[in-house]
Amino acid sequence: MRWQVSKRTFEQAFNAVFHDKVAFEDFCTINVQEEVEEFFYDDRKIFRTSKKLKKYLRFIDRVILRHLANDDEVVHSFIKGKSTLTAVKAHTSSKYFFITDIKDFFSNVKTIDVLRILERDKYLVPIDDFENYIDTIVSMTTLGGSIPIGFPTSPQLSNAFLFEFDRKTKFFCADNSLIYTRYADDIIISGQEFNDVAGLKSQIQLLLSEHVSPNLSLNQDKTHITQIGNKVKLLGLVIMPNGRVTIDVKYKNRLETLLHFYVNDKDKFNDLLKKTMKGNVKSLFGLLHYAKSIDPEYLEKLQRKYGVYTIRLLMEDKLSDNR
């Protein structure tokens, strides 16, 4: 749910959201450093915010940042109604795929970039005195000189940061009969001919440097071209030769093995559930719903193979709650 804010002062918007239960002065003077805890996950530094800071950042995100410029024709991350599925589905008629991502993306969205974004888009924000609070918002949404992974405000700021790049890349692709989508720092460009995608690495790097920041570079280890006939895996999803989008085979194998034992041997089912999902049937519940959301035809196949009643039972909330 997003808060709808008419044209008013920033303090009025704050009081309307927090119902005068929190002092606006506390918001303006919060010490962000004291409200965060850092930890590492997959060698990435992530910041966990306090409950108070998280509430304040969500307020900024919903009242300010959702109004920043982004190109929702090509951007599929952090936008209502968009997802990895919509980002991938845009490419189902293509034959060749250029896949890459931006190296160390969030850490390269610097404090000065956030300031520039807010100055650029200040007239899009329906707050009368927004300009007076730009410095406050910059100080609350950055840490150590960049936007942190784990802050609720970082996703929308990252979309706004790439706005000009998205537009220029979209126009370039349209002029060259290519399709472009972006999900966070993942970039997908596809077309009908190999030659159309063969030279994209240098072109996309040039667009990044010219229209965003010379500090940004493509991740060479994750930049490659694939084609129909090979396994086309985009954002964790797979485009089949017939153009259907489905889940990865590793999830299918896990699902079908668990379902086989669920139907035929409950002890082996429970043992495998412990090994693969820490014994939590809610994980199986989630995986089945994930499969349904991505590829309903595959779920129908599972129903035919293992029984409609079995699949429906495992997808019911009350079963996962009673385990």
Tell me the domain boundaries of the chain. 10-72+114-158, 88-102+161-238, 248-322
Angle at 63 between CA 57 and CA 65, to 5 degrees: 70
- What's residue 323's pLDDT? 45
Kind and range of the H or E element at 176?
none
CB 242 within 8 A of CB 125: no
Q: What pLDDT is recorded for position 1?
A: 44
Nearest one of 92, 83, 90 to 293, comparing CA atoms: 83
Task: Kindly tell me the number of DSSP H helices and DSSP E strands found in the chain.
Answer: 16, 9
Q: Tens place of pLDDT for every residue, the chain, 323 residues?
A: 445 545 799 999 999 999 989 999 999 999 999 999 988 887 788 899 999 999 999 999 999 999 999 999 999 999 999 999 999 999 999 999 999 999 999 999 999 999 999 999 999 999 999 999 999 999 999 999 999 999 999 999 999 999 999 999 999 999 999 999 999 999 999 999 999 999 999 999 999 999 999 999 999 999 999 999 999 999 999 999 999 999 999 999 999 999 999 999 999 999 999 999 887 889 999 999 999 999 999 999 999 999 999 999 999 865 545 44
CA nearest to 187, candidates 164, 228, 213, 219: 219
Tell me the two tokens of residue 23.
């002092």
CA 172 to centroid of chain Cα atoms:
24
Q: What is the CATH number of domain 88-102+161-238?
A: 3.30.70.270
How far is it, in rounded angstroms, from Cα 146 to Cα 126? 25
pLDDT score recorded for residue 293: 97
